[in-house]
Structure 1
């Protein structure tokens, strides 16, 4: 039972992060294939802008598929999003380039990315909600950590795939074999669909159905709980910046500003991401033992103290300094991601759990995650190579205040409790969210 649940939940989220790393790490190649080559800088910025636009539609996907998860069941939402993900990811592998289709090429690329963005709107939080509701009460953190670790496992697998393709033939990779990476992502998503169709619905959702408590309008109910929405948005905003600076911008930064060869960038990335996946699981064990909030504080502090040094080390020009820089970014990403996710799915009432967490998560990612690569490039150009690290530090300081003042502890909270914040004495911010 455990392996079936965790495997099906992990594979979809692994494909999500796999796709974003493939796109981010291949940005310079995609720019050459899908945009005019008269201005290489503009072509790269356009490619990163398409990356960001996929985030703009994620709140739409969160509203649609989050509502499906709360009205028709978690399993239904999980199956629907991974199907769309499979089709849109595989489609990029066969799109015509600018030399063949002209201005139609970037439009087709944008359509695929928008479809991916919609499908991803409820992927992560649906998977986390499903796993948390299926997990034993004393192992909820550990089980959810498997979903969170899939972010970094998928990212590491993407880096390995790109590294293998480059080692086989750098010329072929720049010409056409980069498309194979997207094709394989589509195949992985289809495997995920097969696994998810074999899942059973959670007992929590079945109980809501039997009591007639399924939400009629989960989106409306989410915004009635606007204080809770804003709190979740705040903790996910920092996560979005850290993760998508790491996955979406840092490879380009290392190659352009750091002057490192692609092989060095990918090798350091694989090692750091696998370490981060292990850190997610360790964090899952620790949040079950010591609580969610203490680990979230640790993660935010790591972001405060490590972000500027990470960008400083990134200019060292060696594999060792690059690996150290990657580790300084992946550790807060792992600890914040794990602890924030388990808090989010535990704190929200079950009848709007998928919708509320999906909307908060994806709105934060649309505002802060999708803009991270472009903003990182602009900050570097305007203020120097340490500016992206300083940006993360400032946001982390703000997030630290929010976490200390407003975030409650949720370790002992029942997942089906009708109003998990009603009597919470830890945070006046959360009073009256219903």
Structure 2
């Protein structure tokens, strides 16, 4: 049963991450096909803008599907979001280019990206909430980080899929085989849907439902505890900046600013993402043993000290220097991402767990994640090649202070699945 739960949660999240990341990794080829060819720089910026716009609707997806998770069940939300991702990704694979459809082409691309953004709005936190409520005592960190590692597995698979297509035939890839990467992701998302439909609802939600204690207005209730919301928002903001510099902007930066061949970028990115997968699981193990806060502080410290050196290495022009740059961003992404997710699902009460975590996560991603690639490009153009690293350093330093001052340790919270949970060191009965 444990393998079934983890397998379905991981597979679904991996394909969601694959489908979302494949766009950022394909930014240069998408720019050629879906935007006018008069100005390559403007086409790239337009492509990155569409990348960012998908984040704007993520809070909408968080509100809608987070509420479904808290009112109708975690399983229902998980199944619905992966279906939306499957349809929208397959659609991108079949869209006509600008040469065939004119302005309709980028508009259709935008619609597909908006659907992907809505889907991602509740994917990760819903999966984390579901797994947290099914995890054995003392292994919540490991279980959640295992599912979280699927972010990097899916991203690595996307990277290697594009690499394989490019190496098979560069000319064919530039013309049409890049579409196969999107088609594959959409079909895999349908497999993820099948796996999730076979899951059972969590004991926590069933107990809340039996007691009549599910929230009728989970969005409103989530914002009432604004202190917790702002704390989670701050941590997820840094995570969004790091992750989407790593996944969304750095590949484009390396190719357009660093002059590094696309195949080198893809190989280095794949290596870094596989290492990030290992770091994520190890973070979960350490969080169960030593606590969540020490791992989160460590990740923030690496982000403060390593972001500018990462962009220095990115200028090296070799495979080794490129891998080094990717790793310096991958380590804080793993440490912060896993520790923050465990804290988030433990910090909020179960009746609004799916909604509260999804809103904090996705509003932070809408503000900081979607803008990271575009802002990175603008900062580079305005202030030079190290400017994105400086931006990362400043954000990480601010969040580090907030975490040290305000974040409680959550490892000792009562396990999910009972009618009451420990909140702020006290037992809080789940009531209407």
Question: What secondary structure is seen at the aligned counterpart in 2 of 1:138?
Answer: coil
Match of 2:133 in 1: 133
The CA distance in 1 between the partners of 2:25 and 2:81, in whole Å, is 24
- Cα shift readout 1:243-284 (whole Å, capped 9, x = no counterpart): 000000000001011110011001111111100000000111
Match of 1:428 in 2: none
Match of 1:158 in 2: 158
Match of 2:423 in 1: 421
The CA distance in 1 between the partners of 2:75 and 2:344, in whole Å, is 19
Offset at residue 25 of structure 1 (A)? 1.5
Q: Is the 8 A contact 2:20 2:116 kept in 1?
A: no
Q: Which aligned pairs between 1:25-424 and structure 2 lie closer than 5 A?
A: 25-414=25-414, 415=416, 416=418, 418=420, 420-423=422-425
TM-score, structure 1 length as denominator?
Answer: 0.97
Q: Is the 8 A contact 2:249 2:376 kept in 1?
A: yes
Offset at residue 15 of structure 1 (A)? 1.8
Q: Is the 8 A contact 2:16 2:82 kept in 1?
A: no
The CA distance in 2 between the partners of 1:405 and 1:77, in whole Å, is 34
- Specify whether residues 420 and 165 from structure 1 end up closer, same or farther in structure 2 by C-alpha distance, changes over 3 A only: same
Offset at residue 419 of structure 1 (A)? 5.7
The CA distance in 2 between the partners of 1:95 and 1:59, in whole Å, is 26
Q: Alignment RMSD, CA only?
A: 1.1
The CA distance in 2 between the partners of 1:219 and 1:290, in whole Å, is 33
Offset at residue 418 of structure 1 (A)? 4.0
- Cα shift readout 1:10-45 (whole Å, capped 9, x = no counterpart): 122212221232111111110110010011111110
Question: What secondary structure is seen at the aligned counterpart in 2 of 1:235?
Answer: helix
Q: Which runs of 5+ in 1 are unaligned?
A: 425-433
Moved more, 25-34 or 241-250: 25-34
Offset at residue 422 of structure 1 (A)? 4.2
Offset at residue 352 of structure 1 (A)? 0.1
TM-score, structure 2 length as denominator?
Answer: 0.97
The CA distance in 2 between the partners of 1:119 and 1:320, in whole Å, is 36
The CA distance in 2 between the partners of 1:419 and 1:221, in whole Å, is 17
The CA distance in 1 between the partners of 2:370 and 2:264, in whole Å, is 25
- Cα shift readout 1:167-188 (whole Å, capped 9, x = no counterpart): 0000111110000000001011
Match of 1:427 in 2: none
Match of 1:430 in 2: none
Match of 1:2 in 2: 2
Q: Is the 8 A contact 2:207 2:419 kept in 1?
A: no
Offset at residue 420 of structure 1 (A)? 3.9
Q: Is the 8 A contact 1:122 1:358 kept in 2?
A: yes
The CA distance in 2 between the partners of 1:208 and 1:332, in whole Å, is 36
The CA distance in 1 between the partners of 2:226 and 2:331, in whole Å, is 30
Question: What secondary structure is seen at the aligned counterpart in 1 of 2:233?
Answer: helix
Moved more, 266-275 or 6-15: 6-15
Question: What secondary structure is seen at the aligned counterpart in 1 of 2:43?
Answer: helix
Moved more, 15-24 or 319-328: 15-24
The CA distance in 1 between the partners of 2:312 and 2:288, in whole Å, is 35
Q: Which runs of 5+ in 2 are unaligned?
A: 427-431
Q: Is the 8 A contact 1:348 1:420 kept in 2?
A: no
The CA distance in 1 between the partners of 2:114 and 2:355, in whole Å, is 20
The CA distance in 2 between the partners of 1:233 and 1:74, in whole Å, is 22
Q: Is the 8 A contact 2:159 2:269 kept in 1?
A: yes
The CA distance in 2 between the partners of 1:377 and 1:147, in whole Å, is 31
Q: Is the 8 A contact 2:67 2:354 kept in 1?
A: yes
- Cα shift readout 1:398-421 (whole Å, capped 9, x = no counterpart): 010111111111111113464643
